[in-house]
């Protein structure tokens, strides 16, 4: 995925954005302290994501997100507990994705010389992908359709459709048969 980098200078505060960030952080706290699989839990998810949460999707608490307003989740997505989303650059999770526990999706990093400047690139996880437990996906990465990212892998580059990528840094070790997916 060839993506444009956005630079955000934290030395120039966006006070309106900070207020919204505070509201979203408080909603995430509330979500993390609400009985899961209850109507109240569902209401908080809907308030947090609105139209950006697809039908049939579920996020298991606890979850930690920064800039959760830049996270879009498709239909029938399952995200297990301890999900960390650093979403300043944007995170899109398409339909039918499965994300195991302790996964980190990071769409921003700091400039190595000006550390108050964030370098932001979107992350895209395509339809049907499966992200293994403890995996980390770094800024600007696209995970292909029906691809698998192995547990504890660190994804620094795009993973093609139907690929199985493992390791640190993650490397493609095999390809799945596309004809076996609907």
SS (HEC) of 38-94: CHHHHHHHHHHHHHHECCCCEECCCEEEECHHHEEECCCCEECCCEEEECCCCEEEC
**Which CATH number fits the domain that encloses residue 159?**
2.160.10.10
Q: Are 61 and 28 in contact (CB under 8 A)?
A: no
* Residue 25 CB partners (closer than 8 Å, separation 6+): none
The answer to whether residue 1 scores a pLDDT higher than 80 is no
Q: Which of 22, 46, 110, 174 is catalytic?
A: 110
What is the C-alpha separation between 95 and 134, in angstroms, rounded?
A: 21
The DSSP 8-state label assigned to residue 144 in this structure reads P
Tell me which residue of 72, 67, 84, 89 sits closest to 22, measured CA to CA.
67
- pLDDT for the residue numbered 2: 67
Q: How many domains does the chain have?
A: 1
Report residue 3's pLDDT band, with 50, 70 and 90 as the boundaries: confident
Mean pLDDT is lowest, of 11-20, 68-77, 102-111, 171-180, for: 11-20
The answer to whether residue 17 scores a pLDDT higher than 80 is yes
| pLDDT tens digits, one per residue of 112-148 | 999 999 999 999 999 999 999 999 999 999 999 999 9
128 found inside a domain: yes
31 found inside a domain: yes
Range of 43's domain? 6-175
Please classify residue 155 by burial: count the beta carbons closer than 10 Å to its beta carbon, then call 0-12 exposed, 13-18 middle and 19+ buried. Answer: buried
181 found inside a domain: no
180 found inside a domain: no
Mark whether 110 is an active-site residue: yes
The answer to whether residue 182 scores a pLDDT higher than 80 is no
pTM for this predicted structure: 0.96
- pLDDT for the residue numbered 13: 85
136 found inside a domain: yes
Q: Average per-residue pLDDT in the chain?
A: 96
What's the chain's length in residues? Answer: 182
Q: Are 107 and 90 in contact (CB under 8 A)?
A: yes
The answer to whether residue 81 scores a pLDDT higher than 90 is yes
């Amino acid at each position: 995925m060839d993506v444009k980098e956005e630079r955000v200078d934290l030395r120039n505060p966006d006070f309106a954005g900070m207020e919204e960030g505070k509201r979203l952080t408080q909603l995430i706290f509330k979500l993390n302290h609400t009985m899961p699989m209850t109507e109240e839990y569902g209401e908080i998810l809907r308030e947090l994501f609105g139209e950006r949460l697809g039908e049939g999707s579920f996020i298991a608490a606890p979850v930690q997100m920064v800039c959760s307003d830049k996270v879009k989740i498709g239909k029938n997505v399952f995200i297990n507990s301890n999900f960390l989303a650093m979403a300043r650059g944007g995170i899109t999770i398409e339909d039918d994705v499965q994300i195991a526990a302790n996964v980190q999706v990071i769409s921003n990093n700091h400039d190595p010389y000006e550390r108050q400047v964030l370098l932001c690139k979107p992350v895209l996880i395509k339809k049907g992908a499966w992200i293994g437990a403890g995996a980390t996906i770094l800024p600007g990465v696209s995970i292909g359709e029906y691809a698998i990212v192995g547990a504890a892998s660190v994804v620094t580059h795009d993973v093609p459709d139907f690929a199985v990528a493992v390791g640190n840094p993650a490397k493609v070790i095999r390809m799945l048969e596309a004809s076996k997916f609907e």
